[in-house]
Amino acid sequence: MAYFREERLARLLGRVRVVIFDMDGLIVDNESLQFEATNKVLSPYKIKLTTDDWIKKCLGRRAKEFFRDIVSENSISLKEGLEDLVERKNRYYQQLVSRRIDDIVRPGVVEFIDFLYRRYKLALATCAGRIETEAVIGKRGLGIMDKFEVIIMGDEVEYPKPDPQIYKLVADKMKISPSSCLVLEDTAIGVEAARGAGMFVVAVPNRYTKNQDFSRANYVVTDLTPEARIINLK
C-alpha cells in the first residue's frame, strides 16, 4: 500500500528502511511562535527582531548560538546568563505551543507518521532542546514521541546542521546504512546536513524557507499529504 499518489515519491519511500524527521518548521509550522518567544525575552533589552532578522540570523540554528550573536551584535549587557535567557525563551515558547498545537501542525504530517510507524523505523533529528521537543511531540503536544525509535536533540551533538553529525549519529544508533535512510527537512541547511551524511532527502519548505536553495534535495514537495506534489522552487 502506497501513501503518496506521486509515483516518484512512492518509489523513493520504497527504497529506504528508516525515515528521519526534522521537527521545527517540518512537523509544525512553529517559527512564528519561536519568533514571538525570542522577541518576548529580548524586549527588556530594547531589542526587537524583524521577520527578516529571524530568517537570516535564527532560522534553523540552535537558540544559544543565535542569542550569543544577538547579544554580541547589539552590545547587550545581560542581567542574566545566556543559558537563563534561552531557558526563559523556551518556557514561554512551551506555553505558546500548548495553546496553539492544533493550529501549527503541518498538513498530513501526523497521518504520515501513523502510516510510517507500522512499516518503517522512525527517528527525529532536531536542533531543538528537550523542553522545545517535548512541547511539540510529547503528551501535551501532538503525543507522538513514542513513535520515534531514536530522538537526537541539538544539545546532544557538538556540531549543528549543516554539519552532518546529527544524521550520522542517528544512523549509528539505529545500526543502519545512511543509504537506507530518508530525511524530511524544511531548510536548506538541514538538506545539506542530510546529504552530507549520505542520505536521501525530501524538502518540505514552509513560508519562511520557501525561497531557500533546495537544489541538493532529491525532491521538493508541497506537503506531506497523500496528494503531495513535487515542485521546483527555482
Output the DSSP codes for 78-140. -SS-HHHHHHHHHHHHHHHHHHHHHHHBPTTHHHHHHHHHTTSEEEEE-SS-HHHHHHHHSTT
Task: Please state the domain count of the chain.
Answer: 2
Q: Whole domain around residue 124: which residue ranges? A: 7-29+105-220
Q: Are both 196 and 160 inside the same structural domain?
A: yes
Residue 191 phi/psi, 5° resolution?
-60, -45
Q: Are both 54 and 20 inside the same structural domain?
A: no
**Residues 22, 24, 29, 186: which is the catalytic one?**
22
CA distance 224 to 214: 17
DSSP 8-state code for residue 55: I
Q: Which of 43, 73, 102 marks a domain boundary? A: 102
Which candidate, 32, 17, 150, 41, places its Cα nearest to that of 91? 41
CATH (domain of 185): 3.40.50.1000
Residue 196 phi/psi, 5° resolution?
-65, -25
Residue 229 is assigned to a structural domain of this protein = no
CA distance 66 to 123: 26
Q: Are both 35 and 25 inside the same structural domain?
A: no
Residue 228 is assigned to a structural domain of this protein = no
pLDDT in tens, 60-119: 788 889 999 999 999 988 888 899 999 999 999 999 999 999 999 999 999 999 999 999
Q: Which of 73, 102, 131 marks a domain boundary? A: 102
Q: Are both 126 and 25 inside the same structural domain?
A: yes
Q: Are both 87 and 67 inside the same structural domain?
A: yes
Looking at 15-29, 62-76, 97-111, 213-227, which range is the least confident one? 62-76
Which candidate, 9, 1, 88, places its Cα nearest to that of 43? 88
In the prediction, which pLDDT does 23 show? 97
CA distance 175 to 171: 6
In the prediction, which pLDDT does 80 show? 84
- pTM, two decimals, is 0.89
Q: Are both 21 and 39 inside the same structural domain?
A: no
Residue 1 is assigned to a structural domain of this protein = no
Question: Is 22 one of the annotated active-site residues of the chain?
Answer: yes
- Neighbouring residues of 15: CB distance < 8 A, sequence distance ≥ 6: 182, 200
pLDDT in tens, 104-118: 999 999 999 999 999
CB 146 within 8 A of CB 139: no
